[in-house]
């Protein structure tokens, strides 16, 4: 789905494997309850009164992960999710498609509005990516 949508937007399909690996990390390889809502990337909900509440961990000090409850977006289909995720990662905050695919994970943790607050997120994503490629 990522390759098809990236190609349609004339973006290198080399990003697809990185995006799938990130989804594997975020969804526990598809076992997260958010996967039932086609939210494989742990995408937060920003619209008031929408989304599904779920326990998660956030770092507020850059070191310690703290349990919290947050609202996560629900998608109607895999295609709906993929289109949204590509829009999200291509927005002016992350702008990942302006960089090499192997720099995507760094962009997600150095952006003004970080994709994830886990201080080990980039390291974890790279480990999952290596595992994903080995499968």
Query: Could you read off the pLDDT of 90-114 as tens digits, one per residue?
Result: 999 999 999 999 999 999 999 988 8
The residues of the chain scoring below 50 in pLDDT are none
Q: What is the pLDDT of residue 58?
A: 87
Residue 46 has a pLDDT of 86
pLDDT of residue 3: 98
| Whole-angstrom distance, CA of residue 31 vs CA of residue 49 | 25
Helix axes of 121-134 and 15-27: crossing angle, nearest 10 degrees: 110
Global confidence as pTM: 0.91
Instruction: Report the pLDDT value the prediction gives residue 71, as an integer from 0 to 100.
Output: 93
Tell me, what's the pLDDT at 24?
96
Report the pLDDT value the prediction gives residue 70, as an integer from 0 to 100.
92
Residue 49's pLDDT is 81
Distances (CA, A) of 6 to 17, 35, 47, 115: 12, 21, 26, 20
Contact 33, 27 (CB under 8 A): no
């Amino acid at each position: 789905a990522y390759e098809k949508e990236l190609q349609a937007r004339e973006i290198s399909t080399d990003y697809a494997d990185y995006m799938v690996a990130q989804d594997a990390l975020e969804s526990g390889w598809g076992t997260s309850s958010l996967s039932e809502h086609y939210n494989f990337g742990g995408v937060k909900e920003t619209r008031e009164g929408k989304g599904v509440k779920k326990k998660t961990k956030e770092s507020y000090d850059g070191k310690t992960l703290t349990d919290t409850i947050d609202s996560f977006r629900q998608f109607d289909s895999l295609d709906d999710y993929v289109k949204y995720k590509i829009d999200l990662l291509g927005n002016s905050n992350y702008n990942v498609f302006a960089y090499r695919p192997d720099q995507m994970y760094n962009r997600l943790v150095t952006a003004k509005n970080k994709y994830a607050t886990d201080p080990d997120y980039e390291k974890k994503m790279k480990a999952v990516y290596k595992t994903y490629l080995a499968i």
